[in-house]
Chains A and B, each alone.
Chain A
Amino acid sequence: MVKYLSEEWAAQAKKKVLDELDQTKDLKNMNASLLNVVQNVPPDQKTVYFYIRFVDGKLEELLASPDESIKQKNAEFTITGDYTTFVQISSGQMSSAMALLKNRVKMTGNKIKAFTITKPIDTFNMCIKKIETEY
């Protein structure tokens, strides 16, 4: 059991995605970078940044840290929301697209492109939900 958004969790998530997901079939050879800004993370209600970058469907980076310097990576998409919402997304209770529809997260970035990567991102979330996580 690893703590959600901890370094250990990030390492396991990266390994799981690399081991289990096919770059073409599952991740559609996508090229995209996303910064999730997870607000109000317990116990001290801090903000944690969860960054992912794919190149041709390969997960090149997966980082989770309260360090603001992650923002300098200039992700194509920034998704901002409350910790409780990201728990729902990462545990497979709600897709990120549904969270967007329900106004639970805000997204900046090219929505036309976002539309094309909805499915592989959902596949990514469904993969990492299998990690035994302490939320």
Chain B
Amino acid sequence: MKLSDVLETTKKEPHCGMCKVDFLGTGVCPAGKKHGFVAYWPEGRMELARALAENEVEPTKTLIDIVNSCNLCGICDRQCYFITQRRPTQAQQALKDYVKTLKPNTFKPIPDDEIVKDLRSIVGNDWATNDPIIIASYLRSIIRQKSSGNFYIVMPKSTEEIVAIVQLANKHKIPFLPRGNGTFFGVALQTLLAEPCSIEQGIIIDLWRMKEIHVDPESFTAIVGPGVTSFELQKAAHAHKLRANVAEAESHVCANAQNLGIITTWSNTYGWGTDNFIDAEFIDSTGTIMHLSDKDIPNPYASEQGLLSLSLIPSVIVTQLTLKLHQILDDEEAIFIPFTNLSDALDMAHNLAKRNIGISLAVISRKYLTEFISPTHEIAEDFNYIAEKYLKLNYIVDVICDKYHKKIIEELAEVTFGQSMLKSLILGSSKLASMKESSLLKMIAEEENPLKAVFGGPMRKHFEKGLAASPHELVKVFDEDLRDFFEKLYSKPELTDPVWLHSFRILPCRMERKHMWMYRGGYMPGDKETILKVVDALEKPAEKYHIEGDFGFLSYLERGKLAHLEYDYYYDHTDPDARKRVNKAIVESWRRQFAIKGVTPLEFICSKGLHRKEHILYPFPEGLSEEDLVHFEELIETLFGGEDTW
């Protein structure tokens, strides 16, 4: 197999980093676990295969080691196929075949320079490198593609080692940038945000090795190092019947708290920003260790608003967080309230938020529901079509609550469905997709209220029965050699348990299986009028620039006083024209959002200090005036050049 044979796959690799998380119980890539550098993980091997195919890097001897460290065990195929339908072993096989074609003198020698020697003296010989082959695996997920800078990768094990690395970088006057799992970089670096997000030369501090995790069940807290993923923390918390408010499974907890404040559907009860943690240890740009609990640190509340307050790079490196954990109740269950239009869904969700109903509460889109629970993108598309055309199902108020709140919701809502129906939809999704032209669906569509008919009326039983939901049926859509594995997997209760799925968040990366996405949205007052204006402000640029745009999820904060919206642009990041269009849509969406009073786009919440809470949203920003908009255009041009350069 040639590298060019797998180029389409490797180019589209989204750097989600899920291959570093044991989310299916298969274990993770043994070579990645042993060597740590991204190049030894499936994600990095794919990037390496792409960079070699596109002549962006020359082989070094390390390539032989990377290739030989993989025994094609297939763990990555199971993991990656579950999320993105990709088979990383194909890229690995192509790398193996490629190396066989090279003559021994092809491999470029890489001399150690003084900086890499100094880095090794800090972290040990195995954990620092200036080898271009390893560096190439970090392309598109912290280093810009085709960057010509001089880079080092270092993997510290302790806070003290990071201090020494920062001091070394300062001594040599070179930049440094920490990397968690690279998910945010993987998304942002495909857009015009690449420059402010990335490092153009210097030291990349890969935090993967710092996996300290300690749960204290007495105080309901957990102490985590910066290499701990959301999934790993949640697993440790669940062992004590506790839950953390965490982002997507693969995201590093410390990095997410630092960058985005950990905003989730659980934020309805658990909050966001500083609500999530009690103390933090961090290192400033001079290499000084500080704690949030220290008396003399710079004001941790300090933050700035406005267009010039944008900063996508953290000003400190968080090396430890003490997080709050929350009790899991015995009677928690999921309840879903389907809606045809957004306005009604917002009314219902806001009503619940005001009354503090729902531990987890969000309005999610049809797109999220169908993409997350369908085993393939094609099935998701068919499911999406059916939901829209026949079921008139466009939005869902998605709640995890106790039995008392469930009763209240059932009283308030005209129609609901629960765990049993969701399980049928997950396991029956392939069957549902095959029913696109069925008479049953046509009958449902003719009902006065199809949602009520299918989820609350007499047709419910027929519908569920028609789905013939079972793991055996579902896995028929998978590659044949993976079916046994996935049948066993889908037989596990947690894979169809919405409470577990909301806690562990292993499904959101499925958004990336067809195309790259770009997170839009931000924070705003919780009134419906503002929210609908923001949705429109995000929808319009997508339409104008022919980008697929869709509502993602909306959560309320502070009992409905504030709202956080995620709206997504989907595009093919390997297509230069699509990238240009998405960049134009991003800029226009900023312009439109800034014109609405009270709205702070997501990027302007990033890296705004650790002790961040709603105070950074006040006073509600005034919408930009016409004059401000002219300056906005100028700022964009100064930062990113003209449209032609995007």
Residues of A within 8 A of B (CB): 40, 82-84, 95, 97-98, 100-104, 107, 111-112, 114-116, 118-119, 122
Contact = CB atoms under 8 A, between A and B. Distances in A.
A103 B315 contact: yes
Given A100-B311, A102-B313, A103-B285, 9 more contacts: A97-B635, A101-B310, A101-B312, A111-B304, A111-B308, A112-B306, A115-B628, A115-B631, A119-B631
A95 B636 CA distance: 11
Contacts of B285: 103
Interface secondary structure of A, over-half rule: helix
Contacts of B635: 97, 115, 118-119
B173 A98 contact: no
10 contacts: A97-B308, A98-B196, A101-B311, A102-B311, A103-B313, A103-B314, A103-B315, A104-B175, A118-B635, A119-B638
A111 B634 CA distance: 15
B147 interface: no
Interface in B297-330: 304, 306-315
B562 to A, nearest CB: 23
Nearest to B633: A119
A102 B285 CA distance: 12
B639 interface: yes
A96 to B, nearest CB: 8
A98 B634 CA distance: 13
Given A103-B313, A103-B315, A98 B308 contact: no
A112 B625 CA distance: 13
Contacts of A101: 196, 310-313, 639
Interface in B625-646: 628, 631-632, 634-635, 637-639
Contacts of B308: 97, 100, 107, 111, 114-115, 118
Contacts, number: 57
Contact of B173 (A82, A97, A118): A82
A100 B607 CA distance: 13
B523 to A, nearest CB: 19
Interface of B: 173, 175, 195-196, 285, 304, 306-315, 628, 631-632, 634-635, 637-639
Contacts of B195: 98
A116 B631 contact: yes
B638 A95 contact: yes
B623 to A, nearest CB: 14
A71 B243 CA distance: 53
Contacts of A116: 631
B638 A115 contact: no
Nearest to A99: B196
Contacts of B628: 115
A116 B627 CA distance: 9
A16 B314 CA distance: 37
Nearest to A104: B175
Between A95, A97, A98, A112, the greatest number of chain B beta carbons within 10 A of the residue's beta carbon is seen for A97
Contacts of A102: 196, 311, 313
A124 B396 CA distance: 53
Given A101-B311, A101-B312, A103-B311, A115 B306 contact: yes
Contacts of A122: 638
A129 to B, nearest CB: 14
Nearest to B304: A111
Contacts of A97: 308, 635, 638-639
B170 to A, nearest CB: 8
Contacts of B310: 101
B316 to A, nearest CB: 10
A114 B175 CA distance: 25
Contacts of A115: 306-308, 628, 631-632, 635
Contacts of B304: 111
Contacts of A119: 631, 634-635, 637-638
Nearest to B627: A116
A115 B629 CA distance: 11
A98 B194 CA distance: 11
A107 B308 CA distance: 10
B631 A118 contact: yes
A40 B313 contact: no
B73 to A, nearest CB: 40
Between B175, B304, B308, B637, the greatest number of chain A beta carbons within 10 A of the residue's beta carbon is seen for B308
Nearest to A112: B306
Given A95-B638, A101-B196, A111 B313 contact: no
Nearest to A114: B308
A107 B312 CA distance: 16
Q: Which 6 A-B pairs have the closest CB atoms?
A: A119-B634, A101-B196, A122-B638, A111-B308, A84-B173, A115-B308
A97 B639 CA distance: 6
A111 B173 contact: no
A104 B202 CA distance: 13
A68 to B, nearest CB: 21
Contact of A40 (B173, B315, B638): B173
Nearest to B315: A103
Nearest to A82: B173
A50 B304 CA distance: 25
Nearest to A101: B196
A104 B285 CA distance: 10
Nearest to A125: B638
Between A40, A83, A111, the greatest number of chain B beta carbons within 10 A of the residue's beta carbon is seen for A111
B437 to A, nearest CB: 52
Contacts of B306: 111-112, 115
A2 B556 CA distance: 58
A118 B312 contact: no
A112 B196 CA distance: 20
B148 to A, nearest CB: 12
A111 B309 contact: yes
Between A82, A104, A118, the greatest number of chain B beta carbons within 10 A of the residue's beta carbon is seen for A118
